[in-house]
Structure formats: structure tokens, C-alpha cells
Amino acid sequence: MGELIDLREELYLRLLARRLVEDLCVPPETIEEMGGVVDFAVSLMRQVDDLPEGNGETICDDHPELFELLRKRAAG
């Protein structure tokens, strides 16, 4: 038996990631190279988490639901 995936959460995560990409005006080619909007968001989250305290707050404040879902997925 396979892994059960909550499609609502997955689709919502993709929608939020797409909004992040649009807000940042990232070229579609870059997104494709990184494996899609969710992989791009995960990579960005890791980079933000590696920044010194306080330097990544703006993007996290602008997209709190996305980063919360990504952290939940990473922990889980």
C-alpha cells in the first residue's frame, strides 16, 4: 500500500509556492531548473534559515503559511 497524501494540503502548498515565485518575479526557467515551485520554495526556506537571526524575517512574514507548511513537511 502507498503513502496517503492530503491533496488539499498539497495543492494549497503549491498555490502558496506559486504566489511566492510571483512575488519574487523569479523567471520560469529558474523554477524549472530547480524542479518546480515547491522545490524552489524549499531551497529558499533553507537559505533563509541559514541567514543570521533577523535577516530573513521579511520573506517569512510575507508568506507565513507557506513556510509553516514547508517546515511541517520537512519535520515530518
Asked if residue 49 lies in contact with residue 25, where contact means CB atoms within 8 angstroms, the answer is no
- Rounded to whole angstroms, what are the CA distances from 72 to 20, 24, 57, 76? 18, 23, 18, 6
Average pLDDT over residues 27-56: 90
The reported pLDDT for the residue numbered 63 is 92
Does the residue 25 lie in any domain?
yes
Number of structural domains found in the chain: 1
Q: How confident is the model at residue 1 (pLDDT cuts 50, 70, 90)?
A: low
Q: Residue 13 sits in which domain range?
A: 7-75
Residue 53's Cβ-side half-sphere holds a number of Cα atoms within 13 Å equal to 0
The per-residue pLDDT for range 5-20, each reduced to its tens digit, is: 778 999 999 999 999 9
Residue 40 pLDDT class (50, 70, 90 cuts): very high
Residue 58 lies in a domain: yes
Domain assignment present for residue 2? The answer is no
Q: Could you give the angle at which helices 64-75 and 37-50 cross, rounded to 10 degrees?
A: 90
